[in-house]
Amino acid sequence: MGYSTGKELHVNMPLTNIAMAYQPKNNFGELIAPIVTVQKQSDSYYIFSIAEAYAIEEDKRAPGTEANRITRSVSSGTYFCKNYALKDNIPYEDIKNADAGILLMERAARAQYIKDKLYLNWNYRVGLQCSSGSNVGSYSGVASNWSDGATGKSDPYTDIETAIENVVGVVGSDYRPNRIIFGATAWNLYRKHADIRTLIYGDGAGANGRIVTKEQVAALHEVDQIIVANPMYNSAKEGQTASLSYVWNTDVLVYYAPMQASKEKPSFMYSFRWPVVANMQAEVHQLPLSKAEHVELGYYQDEKITASTLGFLITDVRSSV
């Protein structure tokens, strides 16, 4: 095993810039859990009282008296930013035989592959949390499964509107869900459903052959963004034939996330990112005993559901309650 010393390790800025500019496809982790930059690896965050936010306070003041004092109850949760990192090696033989420009491309390809892996794991962790009904404020199956897409057989539009109204009834209209994430199969069933095509394109045979877009569905439900969770992972053990599964498949989550992330703003979920060390920087380790250099990327982060009442999970739209 080789060991790197201070002289054998450096942050490669051109490679870092390439890695930072490269964004893996179909990433949804940051859209559900926006990144909040924190100053400490471990700390607390505020949890505000919804009841107090909507309470009517007596604001009339008699002459010569002080204004009425209001109170604000604040509880807290905690986060701990764990270090996630991966590396890939380039043998010295490849380095010596490569032209300078080719070597940079080779390192960049390694960095991008590593970043793909890091983002896949991020999506997987977020997906595991959000697809569990016990982690979300409320959850329910559908009355009729969406697999039967004929008119009047099932009602995906009402299923989603009911979920949105449920959240509003608990947290108020200021935090009405502004994003909806569909699992890959759930989205395919929704966009092909006859009722949805009719709502968007109107009655008539022509509606059946038309494509429903994410932008149209966002307008239909009056939300800012529709997200389709397409990432897949290999669930087979190492060395076995690949068995690909969607990270998120038949569930639908409606939730609220602020346009600008901040610890002081409520959000269904946050990714707390500690940027002091290894914030997706490309480190190059020289390992003479292995006769190779290692390209490594990493970051410190913790993903937390910070306000579960700001989300509603519709579980397995292929089944009925």
Instruction: Check pLDDT > 50 for residue 77.
Output: yes
Higher pLDDT pick, 86 / 62: 86
Q: Could you tell me which residue, 23 or 175, shows the higher pLDDT?
A: 175
HEC profile of the chain: CCCCCHHHEEECHHHHHHHHHCCCCCCCHHHHCCEEECCCCEEEEEEECHHHHCCCCCCCCCCCCCCCCCCCCEEEEEEECEEEEEEEEEEHHHHHHCCHHHHHHHHHHHHHHHHHHHHHHHHHHHHHHHCCHHHCCEEECECCCCCCCCCCCCCHHHHHHHHHHHHHHHHCHHHCCCEEEEEHHHHHHHHHCHHHHHHHHCCCHHHHHCCCCHHHHHHHHCCCEEEEECCEEECCCCCCCCCEEECCCCCEEEECCCCCCCCCCCCCEEEEEECCCCCCCCEEEEEHHHCEEEEEEEEEEEEEECCHHHEEEECCCCCEC
pLDDT in tens, 242-291: 998 888 999 999 999 998 888 878 899 999 999 886 688 888 877 777 78
Predicted confidence (pLDDT) per residue in 183-207, tens digit: 999 999 999 999 999 999 987 656 6
Mean pLDDT is lowest, of 18-22, 40-44, 165-169, 277-281, for 18-22
Mean pLDDT of 81-90: 91
The predicted structure's pLDDT at residue 204 = 63
Tokens, residue 30: 């940051």
pLDDT at 1: 41
pLDDT at 5: 44
- Mean pLDDT on 90-111: 80
Q: How confident is the model at residue 23 (pLDDT cuts 50, 70, 90)?
A: confident
Mean pLDDT of the chain: 86
Q: What pTM, to 2 d.p., does this model score?
A: 0.84
Write down the pLDDT at residue 269: 95
* 64 vs 135, more confident: 135
Give the residue, 144 or 2, on which the prediction is more confident: 144
What is the mean pLDDT of the segment spanning 36-61? 80
Q: Which domains does the chain have, with CATH numbers?
A: 6-51+76-314 (3.90.1690.10)
Q: Does the pLDDT at position 103 exceed 80? A: no
